Amino acid sequence: MNIQDNYQKNKKNIFFSENKNVENHRKKLISIFENDKFDKKNNESLKNTNLKNFFDFKYKYLVPEEKSVINNHHDNSYSIVCVNGQCSSFKDDKIQITKIIEGDYIDFSKNNTIEKNDHFVNLNSLFLNCGFKIIIKKNNNIKIKISNIVTDDELTIFQKNNFICEEGSSLNLIEEYENKNNSTSNILNVIKLEKNTQLNHFLIQDNSPSHNLIITSHSSCKKDSTYTQKVYNFSEGYVRNFHFSELIELNSEADLQGIFFLKDNNTSNNKTFVKHLAEDCKSNQVYKGILNDHSKATYFSNTYVDQVAQKTEGYQLSKGILLSDNASYFSKPELKIYADDVKCSHGSTIGPIDENAIFYLRSRGMSKIAATKILISSFINEELSSIDDKQMSQIIQKKLVRYLSKVK
Amino acid sequence: MFLEIKDLSVKIENKNILKSLNLNINKGEVHAIMGPNGSGKSTLANVLAGKEDYEILNGKINFKDNDLFDLNIEERAQEGMFLAFQYPVEIPGVNITPFLHSAINSKRKRMNEDEIDNLSFAKLLKSKASDLGINIDMLKRSVNVGFSGGEKKRYEILQMSILNPDLAILDETDSGLDIDALKIVTDGVNKLKTKDNSFLIITHYQKLLDYIKPDYVHVMVNGSIVKSGGSEIAAEIEKEGFQKFQ
Amino acid sequence: MFTDGSFVYIPEGVKCPMELSTYFRINSENTGQFERTLIIADKGSYVSYLEGCTAPKRDDNQLHAANVELIALEDAEIKYSTVQNWYPGDEDGKGGIYNFVTKRGLCAGKNSKISWTQVETGSAITWKYPSCILKGDNSIGEFYSVAITNNFQQADTGTKMTHIGKNTKSKIISKGISLGKSQNTYRGEVSFLRKAEKARNYTQCDSLLVGNQCGAHTVPYIDSKNNTAVIEHEASTSKINEDQLYYCRQRGLSHEEAVSLIVNGFCKQVLQELPMEFAVEAQKLVSISLEGSVG
C-alpha cells in the first residue's frame, strides 16, 4: 500500500493529526517518501533492509487495557512497564512522567542531525501512535528500569519518548526489549542532558525472530554532561540501532557502545554519529559484533567536528568476527573534521577468530569449540566487565551463554 | 655575565610555577638544580628554551648579552642553548642525519660560518656516535622512534655533542637510566666540558652528581631557589631529603 | 573526447630495466585533456611507470580527465607512480585544473601485483580513486598516497580494492595534509567477495591539519563476505604535534623548516615507495606546497 493512503486511512488513530503544524510537517515527510528512489546502496538507513516488510505494512495499534505500573522504591529506583508504547502518568518530587505532547513533536521535527532521508525516523513521525516523556528533576540521582512490552501480534508501534535530565541530575536507565510476538516497534528516544548531568543508558535487546525492533536515539549534551549508552543486542529478530549524539556545550561527553550477537538469517543495522559542536568535548563510539550462520550486519560510525570544536577527542572502533562462511559484515567508519586542534582516530577490523589463539588453546588440551567460545567471550570481555550492576551483569551473562550454546 | 636570571615569575594555566627566581651562571661553570617533584625545575628548563605555553609574569633573563625574551625557540638554540629533554618526543619518518645536519647549519648560518657539507657531516656524526657507544644502525632510525628510555637519553647527548652548545641544560637526564647508561651519558658530558661552556643540570637525585661534579648546587622548592652552595648541599639532601628546605 | 594516449606491452618474462617515464602538460588555455593509458604486463614481466604532471598558471579552470588501465597477468608486476602538480589555482581559489581521473588495475593472473603510488599536490579539484581488482589467486594490490591541499584546493582521493581470488592481499597507506581553507578527503572501499579465502587487507589513513580553516575527512567502506578474510583499518586525524615542533626548534630549525621536516616524515612511508629520483623531487614538492602557509 502507498504510504500516503496508509496514513490517510489510519489518521484518526495517529497522534496529533489534528494539529496543523504537525500535519504540515507530515506533508513534507510524505513528499520525501514519494520522491525518494529508496536507493539501498547509498541510503544508510536502508542498507540490508527488507523494504517490503517495513514500508508496505499493515497498520495496527491497540490501546493497552491494563494501565502500566510504576513502583516507587525507597532506594530512588522506579520500575516502569511500558505497554504498547504507553505508560501511566506519574509525579513525585524527583520525576515526572507524562504522555508525549505536540510541542515535543514539533521540537524534534526541527532537528537536522538525523538525515532527512532516514525513512525509519520519518515513518516514526508519520505514524506516531504512542510515547511518553520523563523529566528527572534538578539535582536528583535516580534509577529507572523500563520494560517495553508489545501485547499482540501484527501490532505496529510508532513511539517517541522524551528524556530530560534537569541540571545536576543523574540517571541510571535500563531499558529491556524482550518481545516474542510477530510485531514491529519503531521507537525514537529524544534525550536532553542539561548542565552537569549524567545519564547511563543501557539497552538490552532480546526479541524473538518474528519481532522487529527499530530503535533510534538522539541525545544532546550541555556543559559538563555525560551521556553513556550501552546496547546489548541478543535479538533473534531484526534490530536497527541508530544513535545520534550532539555535544552542544563545553566539556561534554558522549559514549556510544554496542555489542551484537547474530545467527541464522538475522540482520542488524547499526549506526552511531557524534557531532562535536563545542570545545573540549570527548566522544567514543565502539561497536563489536559476532556473526554466525547467514547473518548480516552493517555498522556506520561518524565523527563530525565543527570548526569551533577545538580540543576535541574522538575515538571510533568497529570490530567484527565472522564465524561462518555465509555471514557478512559491512562497516563505514567516517571522520569529518573541520577544526585543527583535534585528536580523532578510528580502527576497524573484520575477520575470523584468531587461528593462532585457537591453536594455542587447543595445544593446552581444549576442544576447538571450547576454545572458540572462550575467545568470543574474551572478545567482548571489556564490554561485559564494565557493567557495574550485578543483576544486569548476570542477565547479560546468561544471554551470552545461550548464544554460545548454539555456536558449533 | 653569561646567563643571568633576575626575579623570574612564571605561570601556566593559572598556576604560578616560578616565583621570583634568581640565578647567575658564568662561563665554564657547572650548576646543578635539585628539588622535589613539582618544584618547577622542568618549567625553568622549558622557559629558558622558549617553550610557548608559559606566561612570563615578571623578570628578565640575559643570555650572552641578549635579552632572552627577544629570541624565539630556534634563535636561542642557534645562539648556543641546548636542552636535553626529560622526555624526548618521537618524530616518525624523520631521520637523524638530515635533521641534525639542518640544525647545525642553521646555527652556523647565524654565526656567519660556512655550512658543513653532507660528507663531512656524516663523518662527524659517525665519529661522535662511536664515542658515545651508539650503534650505527641506530642512526638509520627515525628520531627517537622505538628507542628505549636509555637510548633516547644517549641520543640527546649525541645531538648535544654535535651542536656543541655554550649552555647545555640537562633536564632529569639521569631519570630512567641504569648505572651503565648513566656512565656513558655522564662521560659524554664530561668530555664536552671546557672552560668556555656551561652546564645547568636538573636532577632529582644526587647520584648523577657523583659523575658530573658541579661547581654550584641550588635547592629549588616551590618555584624559588631556597639555598645555594657547593656540592656539600647534594650530600645533605641525600641524607635528609628535601623536607628541611620546605 | 579521447585525445591521445599510450599503450605499453611488456612481453612474457621481460623485466623492464628502466623506469618508463611520461610527462604531462597542459599548455593551451580553456582546454581539456583526455588521454588514455593502457599497460599490459604479460606473464612474469615487470614494469615501473612514472607520470608527472604540470600546467602553467591560467585564470580559467582547465579539465584533465584521463583514463589509466593496468592489466597484470600471472606473476607479473606493475608499479605505477604519479607525481601530480597541476596548477592548483591562486590564493583566492581562482583558476586551476580540475583533475578527474579514472585509474583501475586488474590483477588477472596468479601471483600478480599492482602497486599505485601517488603524490597529489596540485589541481583545484582532484577526484581520483586508483583501484585494483584482485582476481588472480595470491595477487597483491597496493595503494600509497600523499595528498596535500592548500588554499581552496579540494582533494577527494582513495582507492578501491576488490578481493575476488584466494589469498589476495592489499595494503593501503594514505596520508592527507590539509592547509589553508582546503578540504582533503580519503574515500576508499575494501571488499572481500565470497570466494576470497584468506584474503588480507591492511589500511592506514592518517590526516594532518595545519591551520584551523581546513577540513580532513575519512570515508572508508569496508565489506566482508568471507569469514577467513581479515581486514584491519586504522585512521587518525590530528594537528601537527606541538611537542615535535618544539623539539626541532630547540635544535635550531626554523618553524617552517620544522613543519616541512615533520610533514615529510609523516609522508615517508609513501614517498619511499617512489623510484629514487622521484622521491627526492617529491620531497621538495612537499616542502614547496607547505610554503607560506605556516605562520
Which residue from C249, C252, C262 is facing B91, i.e. has the nearest CB? C262
Chain C within 8 Å of A344 (Cβ-Cβ)? yes
Q: How far is C195 from chain B (nearest CA, A)?
A: 38
**C243 close to B (CB below 8 A):** yes
C-alpha distance from B137 to closest chain C C-alpha (Å): 18
At A360, the amino acid letter reads: Y
Distance from the C245 Cα atom to the nearest Cα atom in chain A, whole angstroms = 15
Nearest to A342 among C194, C218, C238 (CB): C238
* Residues of C in Cβ contact (< 8 Å) with B85: 247, 250
Name the amino acid, one letter, at C242. E
Q: Residue for cell digits 508519520?
A: A126
B102 touches chain C (CB under 8 A): yes
Closest CA to C38 of C75, C5, C85: C5
Task: With CB atoms and an 8 Å threshold, state whether B91 touches C265.
Answer: yes
Hey, is the C-beta of C265 within 8 angstroms of any chain B C-beta? yes
Please tell me whether residue C87 adopts helix, strand or coil conformation.
coil
Q: Does residue A320 belong to the interface with chain C, where contact is any CB pair within 8 Å? A: yes
Task: Report the gap between the CA of C106 and the closest CA in chain B (Å).
Answer: 32
CB contact under 8 A, C261 and B98: yes
The torsion angle over the Cα atoms of residues B22, B24, B30 and B34, rounded to 10 degrees, is -10
Q: Which residues of C touch A343 (CB under 8 A)?
A: 236-238
Chain C residues in contact with B73 (beta carbon < 8 A): 246, 249-250
CB neighbours of residue B144 within 10 Å: 21
Min Cα–Cα distance to chain B from C180, Å: 23
Q: With contact defined as beta carbons under 8 Å apart, do C55 and C62 qualify?
A: yes
Nearest chain C alpha carbon to B107: C252
- Please give, rounded to a whole number of angstroms, the shortest distance from the CA of A346 to a CA of chain C: 5
Q: Percent of chain B, pLDDT > 90?
A: 34
pLDDT at A69: 67
CB of B73 within 8 Å of any CB in chain C? yes
d(CA C14, CA C42): 8
Contacts of A338 in chain C (CB under 8 A): 214-215
> Nearest Cβ partner of B74 from C241, C253, C265?
C253
Q: CB-hemisphere CA count at 13 Å for A242?
A: 19
Predicted local confidence at residue C10, as pLDDT: 94
CB neighbour list of residue A52: distance below 8 Å, 6 or more residues apart: none
Chain-chain contact of B103 with C261 (C-beta, under 8 angstroms): no
Instruction: Name the residue facing B77 among C241, C252, C264 (closest C-beta).
Output: C252
pLDDT of the residue at C141 = 96
Contact A329, C224 (CB under 8 A): yes
Q: Which of B68, B74, B83 to mutate to test the interface with C (most CBs of C within 10 A)?
A: B74
Query: CA of B72: which chain C residue's CA is closest?
Result: C249
List chain C residues with CB under 8 Å of A345. Answer: 234-237
Does A18 contact chain C (CB < 8 Å)? no
Provide the pLDDT for residue C292.
Answer: 63
* Closest-CA distance of chain C to residue B45, Å: 11
Residue (of C169, C168, C173) closest to C158 by Cα position: C173
Range of the domain at B142: 3-245
**Cell numbers representing residue A222 in the block:** 550541555
Q: Which three cell numbers stand for residue A382?
A: 571489556
Chains with at least 3 CB pairs less than 8 angstroms from chain A: C
Mutation site for A-interface testing, chosen from C185, C194, C218, C232 by largest number of A Cβ within 10 Å: C218
Nearest by Cα to A73 from A174, A144, A21, A165: A144
Do the Cβ atoms of C253 and B85 come within 8 Å? no
C-alpha cell at B184: 656513558
**pLDDT band at residue B6 under the 50/70/90 scheme:** very high
Mean of pLDDT values over B135-153 = 85
Domains in chain B: how many in total? 1
pTM (global) more than 0.80 = yes
Residue with cell 583535534: A342
What span, in angstroms and rounded, lies between the C-alpha atoms of C218 and C205? 8
* Contact at CB, C255 and B74, closer than 8 angstroms: yes
Cell numbers found for residue B100: 641534525
Query: Is B93–C268 a contact, with Cβ atoms under 8 angstroms apart?
Result: yes
- The angle that helices B179-192 and B149-163 make with each other, rounded to 10 degrees, is 10
Contact C89, C152 (CB under 8 A): yes
User: A103 and chain C: CB distance < 8 Å anywhere?
Assistant: no
Residue A11, amino acid: K
**pLDDT (tens digit, 9 = 90+) per residue, C59-104?**
777 788 889 999 999 999 999 998 888 888 888 878 888 888 899 9
What are residue A360's phi and psi, to 5 degrees? -60, -50
Query: What CATH number corresponds to the domain at position B167?
Result: 3.40.50.300
**Residues A152 and A180: beta-carbon distance below 8 Å:** no
Q: Does B179 touch chain C (CB under 8 A)?
A: no
The answer to whether the beta carbons of residues B18 and B10 sit under 8 Å apart is: yes
Kindly report which listed range (A80-84, B168-172, C122-126) carries the lowest average pLDDT score. C122-126
Chains B, A in contact, 3 or more Cβ pairs below 8 Å: no
Chains B, C: CB pairs < 8 Å: 80
Closest-CA residue of chain C to A315 = C236
Q: What is the pLDDT of residue A134?
A: 95
Nearest CA to CA, how far is B232 from chain C (Å)?
33
Q: What is the mean pLDDT of chain C?
A: 88
Distance from CA of C257 to the nearest CA of B (A): 9
C3 or A269, which is more confident?
A: A269
Residue of chain B whose alpha carbon sits nearest to that of C243: B89
Q: Which residues of chain C does A333 touch, with a Cβ-Cβ cutoff of 8 Å? A: 218, 220, 222, 233, 235
CB contact under 8 A, C221 and A332: yes
Q: C 196-225 residues with CB below 8 A of A? A: 207, 209-225
CB atoms C249 and B93 under 8 Å: no
* Chain A residues with CB-CB distance to C216 below 8 A: 335, 337
Pairing mode of beta strands A156-165, A184-193:
parallel
Distance from CA of B195 to the nearest CA of C (A): 23
Residue with cell 556545550: A249
E-assigned strand segments in C77-182: 77-85, 96-107, 113-120, 125-128, 131-134, 140-149, 154-157, 160-163, 169-179
- C257: nearest CB among B76, B102, B163: B102
- Output the pLDDT for position C295: 47
User: For testing the chain A interface, which of C224, C234, C242 should be mutated: the one with the most A CBs within 10 Å?
Assistant: C224
Confidence of residue C56 (pLDDT cuts 50, 70, 90): low
Confidence of residue B174 (pLDDT cuts 50, 70, 90): confident
Verify whether the Cβ–Cβ distance C235 to A320 is below 8 Å.
Answer: no
A329 min Cα distance to partner chain C (Å): 5
Enumerate neighbours of B (3 or more CB pairs within 8 A). C
Residues in contact with A209: Cβ distance below 8 Å, sequence separation at least 6, in sequence order: A236, A237, A264, A266
Residue of chain A whose alpha carbon sits nearest to that of C217: A336
Predicted-complex ipTM score: 0.84
CA distances (Å), C231 to each of C138, C168, C186, C196, C201, in order?
16, 12, 17, 12, 5
Phi and psi, residue C225, nearest 5°: -120, 15
Q: What is the pLDDT along chain A (408 residues), one digit of tens a residue?
A: 588 899 999 988 899 989 999 999 999 999 998 888 888 888 888 888 888 888 888 999 999 887 676 777 677 889 999 999 998 888 888 999 999 999 999 988 888 888 888 999 999 999 999 999 999 999 999 999 999 999 999 999 999 999 999 999 999 999 999 999 999 999 999 999 999 999 999 999 999 999 999 999 999 999 999 999 999 999 999 999 999 999 999 999 999 999 999 999 999 999 999 999 999 999 999 999 999 999 999 999 999 999 999 999 999 999 999 999 899 999 999 999 998 889 999 999 999 988 888 877 777 777 888 888 888 888 888 788 888 888 888 899 999 999 998 888
